[in-house]
């Protein structure tokens, strides 16, 4: 009999019902898509990263990013910043918001974040990592986690040192992306650094990088010993990946892929949820990128994607899908 690798585990006092987590992604892991991923089996969903400094400035846009729903619990709220005092202050200011885990981003590779000493730039300074985590821990009653990379660049792979600093600061779990900042999202993820972090730490370690299906998720867990896997880009246009990975980790079965009709229905449902959440103008604009991912593998997908980027209303999108894929 196959070992069930999808059992509940703990992050601090929070019980995570399974081992498959939806990663925080800027511009992607908003409330509508988190709800869809949770519905399809994500054991924990993570918000897109939010500036600790913007929270202290009471930025309206930031408040919108922190909107949650009881239906998505457990949910992790991710902050980014590099100043311990501001991190602690931001944590105290959001203490009454409904979320379960507080995460600190130490892996974002984007230049405008790194140039401010935030995101993956923090991996250059493990001492600061410990101070940031300690500041967050002192400012919140929730478990604090961090997300790091293999290192900042080739030749300075210090994931273990940074993870140990986070643990020393009081972190309850660490997620490790097996690429350096210099790699961005290109090349192959190196899972050996995840294994080294797991061996060094006494708290849960979550593996991230190149998880695209059930077999790759199981392989990462077996090769690294990580406690859970985190799925990012492979979930775009494919929230079903969570039910598929769950099934494979549980009993090595693989559910049938959704029929094209179901994919189009999900695409349109996602669009309606975005419009309800953000208004039609913004919702449809953001849905264009999501739709391109849903349509991968469809007949005439390239042509239809070129048409999707021109729609400006929900009705136009619905009519386009009805015309191009009438079976849906």
Q: What is the tens place of the pLDDT at every residue in 240-268?
A: 999 999 999 999 999 999 999 999 999 99
Enter the pTM of the model: 0.95
* Exposure string for 226-243, b = 16+ CB within 10 A, e = fewer: bbbbbbbbbbbbbbbbbb
Look at residue 171 and tell me if it is in a domain. Answer: yes
Q: What is the tens place of the pLDDT at every residue in 277-307?
A: 999 999 999 999 999 999 999 999 999 999 9
Q: What is the CATH number of the domain that holds 305?
A: 1.10.1200.80
Q: Clarify whether residues 130 and 270 are in a common domain.
A: no
Q: Clarify whether residues 193 and 317 are in a common domain.
A: no
Q: Clarify whether residues 28 and 101 are in a common domain.
A: yes
Q: Clarify whether residues 116 and 151 are in a common domain.
A: yes
Look at residue 99 and tell me if it is in a domain. Answer: yes
Look at residue 220 and tell me if it is in a domain. Answer: yes
Which domain, by its residues, includes 156?
9-251
Is 80 in contact with 105 (CB distance < 8 Å)? yes
Look at residue 1 and tell me if it is in a domain. Answer: no
Whether 2 is catalytic: no
Look at residue 4 and tell me if it is in a domain. Answer: no
**Is 1 strand, coil or helix?**
coil
Could you give the CA distance from residue 199 to residue 284 in angstroms, rounded to a whole number? 45
Q: Clarify whether residues 101 and 241 are in a common domain.
A: yes
Q: Across the 328 residues of the chain, what is the mean pLDDT of every consecutive 10-residue run?
A: 92 98 94 98 96 91 91 97 97 96 96 94 97 98 97 89 98 96 89 98 97 97 98 97 98 94 97 97 96 95 95 96 87
Q: Clarify whether residues 136 and 226 are in a common domain.
A: yes
Look at residue 3 and tell me if it is in a domain. Answer: no
Q: Clarify whether residues 293 and 200 are in a common domain.
A: no
Cβ partners under 8 Å of residue 170, min gap 6: 133, 134, 137, 144
Catalytic: which of 37, 91, 108, 226? 108
Q: Clarify whether residues 230 and 274 are in a common domain.
A: no
Number of domains in the chain: 2
Q: Which of residues 251, 283, 302 is at a domain's end? A: 251
């Amino acid at each position: 009999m196959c070992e069930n690798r999808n059992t509940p585990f703990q992050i601090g006092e929070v019980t995570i019902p399974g081992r498959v987590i939806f990663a925080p992604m800027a511009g992607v892991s908003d409330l509508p898509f988190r709800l869809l991923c949770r519905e399809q089996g994500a054991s924990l969903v993570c918000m897109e990263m939010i500036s600790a400094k913007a929270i202290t400035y009471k930025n309206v846009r930031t408040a919108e990013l922190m909107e949650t729903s009881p239906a998505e619990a457990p949910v992790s709220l991710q902050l980014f910043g590099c100043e311990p005092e501001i991190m602690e202050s931001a944590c105290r200011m959001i203490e009454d918001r409904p979320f379960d885990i507080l995460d600190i981003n130490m892996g974002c590779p984007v230049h405008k974040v790194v140039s401010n000493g935030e995101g993956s730039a923090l991996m250059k300074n493990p001492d600061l990592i410990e101070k940031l985590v300690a500041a967050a821990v002192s400012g919140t009653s929730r478990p604090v986690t961090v997300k790091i990379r293999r290192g900042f660049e080739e030749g300075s792979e210090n994931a273990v040192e940074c993870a140990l600093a986070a643990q020393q600061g009081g972190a309850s779990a660490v997620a490790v992306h097996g690429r350096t900042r210099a790699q961005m999202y290109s090349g192959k993820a190196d899972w050996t650094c995840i294994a080294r972090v797991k061996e060094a730490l006494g708290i849960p370690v979550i593996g991230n990088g190149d998880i695209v299906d059930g077999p790759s998720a199981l392989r990462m867990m077996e090769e690294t010993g990580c406690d859970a896997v985190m799925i990012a880009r492979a979930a775009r246009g494919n929230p079903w990946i969570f039910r598929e990975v769950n099934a494979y980790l549980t009993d090595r079965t693989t559910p049938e892929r959704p029929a094209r009709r179901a994919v189009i229905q999900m695409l349109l449902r996602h669009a309606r949820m975005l419009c309800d959440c953000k208004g039609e103008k913004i919702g449809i604009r953001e849905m264009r990128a999501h739709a391109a991912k849903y349509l991968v593998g469809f007949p005439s997908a390239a042509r239809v994607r070129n048409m999707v980027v021109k729609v400006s209303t929900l009705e136009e999108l619905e009519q386009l899908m009805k015309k191009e894929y009438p079976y849906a």
